[in-house]
Amino acid sequence: MFNRRTLLKSMGAGGLLALARPEWSFAAAPGDVRLVVMLLRGAVDGLAAVPPHGDFRYEKARGAMALPRSGSEGGVIDLDGFYGLHPSLAPLQPLWESKELALVHATALPYNDRSHFDSQDVLENGTDRPLGSRTGWLNRALVGKTGEPAMAIGRTVPLILRGPQKVTSADPLRVWKPDNALLNAVADLYEADPQLGPALEIGIQTQAMLDVHRGRMRDAKRQKKRDFEKAARVLGGVLAADDGPRVAVVDLGGWDTHTGQSNGLNKLLEGLAGSVVGMREAMGSTWDKTVVLAMTEFGRTVHANGTAGTDHGTASFTMLAGGAVAGGKVYGEWPGLRDDQLFEGRDLQPTTDLRSISKGVLMAHLGVSDSAIEDSVFPDSRDAKPMLELIRS
């Protein structure tokens, strides 16, 4: 390990750049790929995001929430004659055309009790039950890999990324001016502290790595966009850098649309599309070896509730974007919208286990071994076959 005092003393104007950290070199990284997992917290209405407008029951099932027909003002953007995109996801259409966008419909976790909190826990812990593990599947998938620690965007590290492997968190829009002498002293105080010690140490290393991106941060901050879209742009640049992290997690919440859902949902979907497009622009050619995986804890009711919104449901959609994605296709079996085809008579019936998607991405894109997947990353998930076909070969 490096000596922390030396590290901190070398920090300061320009000093961060000069750091030599041979043990974190990327020569050792297995493959040179990038993975961004976006957690869409609050349960996205998959039938709004990716409407099955070719299903003749679609308009009746959705009632007033059905989108205008494709071709009309504010209508569905047709993808393949059967599925479409919500008009607020229009910026993603070019990615569909260039086969950098794949969708999977009717995806769900092995847990179906419609609690946000339990379901997000399962989404992140990688087992088949709430509180099944105190560590996250993405962290466990990275065990044994070298390279810059995976990065959560924000102050804290969400469950999906917690675990034995060293990880970090950062707010890509916060410019940091450290007082090195004081930091040194605090680092000494935290030396023996199992919680504060590692957090501070990794935080300092991350700031050193981010130092070359300060200009990018200032540029992003000047743009007229939502904060998380700005953050996504900075993140794109950081991921593209040689010494940047290979894996990142982005939280995007607010999808719990119980009341008058169309307004809020339009903005959220615009934000989602804007973040993906922004990351793509900032990444340049690194986008070619990237997968952005966006997933949510469950879907929403097929029919509107009594307040022009939707209540908690079961299956939703999952999105994959990036040059490494085998895109231009909607994967998964369509379960249908007839009343007796719905889950418990109210929700979209799941046909794809979300873990099949995550497993496929980890194995085909990050090169995680089958045994690691089955033993520790997604234990007891043999029935969820990895969808290797989601990644371009």
Partner 1 sequence: MSIREATIAVNRFGLGARPGDIAKISKDPRGWLKGQLKPDAPPIREFAALKPSGETIMMLAALRKGGAEVRDQRNQMQRDTYKVEMAARCLVAVRTEMPFRERLVRFWSNHLAVSTSRGEVRSMAGAYEREAIRPWVCGKFEQMLLSSARHPAMLVYLDNLRSVGPNSKVGSKRERGLNENYARELMELHTLGVRGGYSQEDIIELAKILTGWGIERRDGIRVGFQFDGARHEPGNKTVLGKRYREGEESGRQVIRDLVHHDSTGKLLATKLARHFIADDPPPKAVDRIAKAFKSSRGDLGKTAEALVDCPEAWEKSLTKLKTPEDLVSSTARALGYDTDGLPNLESVKYLGQLPFSAPSPQGWADRAEEWLGPEAILTRVEWAEQVGMESTERIEDPVGFGEDILGELSKTTRRAVASVSKSDALALVLASPEFQRR
Contacts to partner 1 by CB under 8 A: 41-42, 113-118, 130, 152, 154-157, 162, 168-171, 174, 176, 178-179, 181-183, 185-186, 188-193, 195-196, 199-200, 202-204, 206-207, 253-254, 256, 258-259, 305-307, 309, 311-312, 344
Measured distance CA(390)–CA(102) in Å, rounded = 8
Q: In whole angstroms, what is the distance from residue 60 CA to residue 348 CA?
A: 15
User: What is the DSSP-derived secondary structure letter of residue 165?
Assistant: S
Which CB atom, from 213 or from 359, has the smaller least distance to partner 1?
Answer: 213
Strand partners, 320: 102, 293
Shortest reach from residue 54's CB to partner 1, in Å: 27
Output the six-digit token pair for 255: 């999808």
CB nearer to partner 1: pick between 190 and 334: 190
Query: DSSP letter string over 191-226?
Result: TT-TTHHHHHHHHHHHHHHHGGGHHHHHHHHHSSS-
CB of 110 to partner 1, least distance (A): 16
Rg, C-alpha atoms of the chain: 21
Minimum CB distance to partner 1, residue 275 (Å): 18
Residue 204 vs 276, nearer CB to partner 1: 204
Distance CA 98, CA 203 (A): 38
How far apart are the C-alpha atoms of 168 and 84, rounded to whole Å? 37
Q: Work out how close the CB of 233 gets to partner 1 at its nearest, in angstroms, rounded to a whole number.
A: 18
Say which DSSP state 376 is in. Answer: I
Evaluate the CA torsion angle 157, 145, 119, 195 in order and state its sign: negative
Tell me which H or E stretch contains 273: helix 261-283
- Closest approach, Cβ 193 to partner 1, in A, equals 5
- What's the min distance (Å) between Cβ of 117 and partner 1? 5
Dihedrals φ, ψ of 116, to 5°? -55, -45
Greatest CA span in the chain, whole angstroms? 68
Q: Rounded to the nearest whole angstrom, what is the least distance from the CB of residue 111 to partner 1 in the complex?
A: 11
Q: Which is nearer to partner 1, 147 or 360 (CB)?
A: 147
**Residue 199 CB, nearest approach to partner 1 (Å):** 4
Q: Considering the complex, state which of residue 44 and residue 324 has its C-beta at the smaller distance from partner 1.
A: 44
How far is the C-alpha of 204 from the C-alpha of 12, rounded, in Å?
Answer: 12
Name the residue nearer to partner 1 (CB basis): 102 or 208.
208
Give the C-alpha distances (Å, rounded to integers) separating 10 from 23, 137, 145, 151.
Answer: 18, 36, 27, 23
